[in-house]
Amino acid sequence: MSSRLDGAALKPLVVDANILVRAVLGKRVRTILATYADRVDFVTPEVGYLSTRSHVPAILRERGLSPEEFDQIAPTEIIEALTGFVAPVPDSVFAHWEAEARERLARRDEDDWPFVALALQLGCSIWTEDRDFFGSGIATWTTDRVEIYLRSEL
């Protein structure tokens, strides 16, 4: 996948960690990613994958999956495959936006600042199910509406 960060002219979209988790646990998000990967530069801060790697096993345990069932789902392999669709971006690319991003998330979940900072850096929207981003001045798209954004012209 080419990255806008490398100069390609793809439409950017920041993908929140909760969307990555949905991609691991379900099919709809993966289908959307695969369908639009040639026109959209899906990106996430590196922390998006760190969060996904830590949350997915806990969610699967909460669902009562046995170790055998867990292995059949193969979440580690799915997460690795997702990096072909959603590029992890190092903090150094957007760290200069941290203060503004934290201010926009004040009294909410300021730990989500990397997603807002990356969106500010790229001048784009965030795909999320997290209401903490609402009112941050960054356009947000939920999974049930994101294809409206993805279908629109560059």
What is the pLDDT averaged over residues 35-44?
94
Does pLDDT of 67 surpass 80? no
Q: Please identify which residue in the block is written with the tokens 């590029």.
A: 87
Q: How confident is the model over 88-99, as pLDDT tens digits? A: 999 999 999 999
pLDDT at 99: 96
The answer to which of 6-10, 71-75, 94-98, 136-140 has the lowest mean pLDDT is: 6-10
The answer to which of 15-29, 43-57, 66-80, 91-105 has the lowest mean pLDDT is: 66-80
Work out the pLDDT band at 126, boundaries 50, 70, 90: very high
Are the CB atoms for 113 and 45 separated by under 8 Å? no
d(CA 94, CA 84): 21
Q: Which has the higher per-residue pLDDT, 81 or 65?
A: 81
> Of 127, 120, 126, 124, whose CA–CA distance to 100 is shortest?
120
pLDDT at 131: 87
Give me the chain's average pLDDT, please: 87
Q: Tell me if the pTM is above 0.85.
A: yes
Does pLDDT of 72 surpass 90? no
What residue ranges do the domains of the chain occupy?
4-151
Question: CATH classification of 4-151, choosing from 3.40.50.620, 3.40.710.10, 3.40.50.1010, 3.40.50.300?
Answer: 3.40.50.1010
d(CA 36, CA 11): 10
For residue 106, give Cα distances in angstroms to 24, 117, 134, 141: 30, 14, 12, 20
pLDDT at 2: 42
pLDDT at 4: 45
d(CA 97, CA 116): 8
Work out the pLDDT band at 1, boundaries 50, 70, 90: very low
Are the CB atoms for 95 and 115 separated by under 8 Å? no
Are the CB atoms for 37 and 85 separated by under 8 Å? yes
What is the pLDDT averaged over residues 34-44?
94
